[in-house]
Amino acid sequence: MSGEDSLIEIRRTEWTKLRALYAHRDTDPQGYPCLNNFISWVEYEPSIEAKILSLNGNWEDDGTFLLTLDLDVGIKHLYFNTLSDNLDRVTRAIECLKNIENEYTFFGFCSRLKPVVETISKKYYTKELHIVDTIWYQVSKDLIDTFKIEAPTGITLSNLKIEDAETINEIWPHRSDKSVNFVRHLIKLNVNVGAYDDNGKLVAWCLRLPIGSLGLLQVLDTHKRLGLGSLLVKSMAIKISALGDQVLAPVVTKNIPSRTMFEKIGFRAIDTIYWAD
C-alpha cells in the first residue's frame, strides 16, 4: 500500500452518480444491482451502517469503490468494484482497510475481481481464505412474463414477516451467531416471499440479497416435492422484474439439484461469483 493512499467516503448524495456509471453493468453482482440496493436501503433507513469509500477521493474516472456494511452480525460485509480493466486501484483501496482478515467478509464478487481477493489474501491473511464458489444465473424478462403462479392446495404465498427471521435463520446453512440480524434486514428492506400452510406455519421462503439477487431459498423437508422451490423462484422473479431490475441468482456450484431446478425454469449461467472469509 502506498503511504499516500487513503479512503475517502463518498457522500450519500453522490451515490446515484456512482450508480449511473454502472448502469451498463446490470448483471454484475457488485455493479448496478448492488449500488441500487443500497441506495434504496439508506433512503428507507438512513441509520444503516453502510458506507461507500473511494481511493484518495477519486471515483468518477473509473468507478472504483469499496462498500462496507455493518449489520451487527459479527463481521462486516465488503463489496467492491471498478470499471477499469486494471485492478490496481481497487486492490490498493482494499489495502487501506485495517484488520481486513478479522473484520470483513467478501460478499458475492464476480470472477473478474477474483484476482483482487487472491492478492489481498496472499499479502494480508495468516490463514487460508475460505472461498465458496457459486454459479451466477440470469433469466430474461420475456421468459418471466410467461410465468404463472398457482400455489398448491393448502399453501398461501405472502410477504414474509420480521418474526419469520428466526425460523429462516435457524436452518440457513451459512448462519452465524448473529446472522438473524442480517435476515431481519433482508425481510424488512427487500422484496421477499413466503409459503404458509393452512395453520399459518412458514414452510418455504425466498429472499433478496444485497447484491440484488435471489437468495436464502429454502423448503422444509415436510413440504418438498410439491414444486414450492420453483414456485417461489418464479414469484420472486416476477417481483424483481416488476421493479425494472435484472433477475439473478447465485447457486452453490456443488448443489446440482438446485442448479437443475433453476435451469429447468429457464435461468442460464453467465458467470461464477464467490464469497470469501
Output the pTM of the full model. 0.94
Q: Of 172 and 117, which is predicted with more confidence?
A: 117
Q: Is residue 146 part of a domain?
A: yes
Are 76 and 50 spatial neighbours (Cβ–Cβ below 8 Å)? no
Indicate the residue among 69, 98, 129 that finishes a domain.
Answer: 129
| Segment holding 232, helix H or strand E | helix 228-242
Which pLDDT value is given to residue 3? Answer: 64
Domain annotation covers residue 253? yes
Given 69, 96, 129, the domain boundary residue is: 129
- Which value, to the nearest 10 degrees, does the dihedral of the CA atoms of residues 137, 138, 143, 146 take? 70
Q: Domains in the chain: how many in total? A: 2
Q: Across residues 67-75, what is the average pLDDT?
A: 87
Q: Give domain status of residue 195, yes or no.
A: yes
pLDDT at 90 over 90: yes
**For residue 21, what pLDDT is reported?**
98
The yes-or-no verdict on residue 236 having pLDDT over 60 is yes
Please give the average per-residue pLDDT across 33-53, as a whole number: 97
178 and 96: one domain? no
Q: Which triple of cell numbers denotes residue 108? A: 458475492
pLDDT of residue 233: 98
- Asked whether residue 2 is assigned to any structural domain, the reply reads no
Q: Is the pLDDT of residue 174 over 90?
A: no
Domain boundary among 129, 149, 167: 129
117 and 147 share one domain: no
Q: Domain check: are 93 and 156 in the same one?
A: no
- Signed CA dihedral, 128, 272, 263, 161: sign only: positive
Judgement on whether residues 146 and 252 belong to the same structural domain of the protein: yes
Domain match, 144 and 265 both: yes
In this prediction, residue 175 carries a pLDDT of 75
**Are 200 and 96 within one domain?**
no
CB 105 within 8 A of CB 76: yes
Find the CATH number of the domain harbouring 97. 3.40.630.30
Is 165 in the same domain as 254? yes
**Residue 134 counted as domain residue:** no
Report, as an integer, the average pLDDT of 227-249. Answer: 97
* Identity of the amino acid at 245: D
pLDDT digits (tens, 9 = 90+) for 119-143: 999 999 999 999 999 999 999 999 9
Q: Do residue 14 and residue 123 come from a single domain?
A: yes
Looking at residues 181-193, what average pLDDT do you find? Answer: 95
CA distance 98 to 122: 16
Q: Which domain holds residue 247?
A: 139-272
- Residues 6+ positions from 120 with CB-CB distance below 8 Å: 91, 94, 95, 100
pLDDT of residue 95: 96
Pull the grid cell for residue 268.
442460464
Domain check: are 145 and 264 in the same one?
A: yes
Please, what is the average pLDDT of the chain? 95
Residue 248 has pLDDT above 60, yes or no: yes
**Are residues 37 and 57 located together in one domain of the fold?**
yes
Q: Give residue 93's pLDDT.
A: 97
Q: Is 235's pLDDT higher than 90?
A: yes
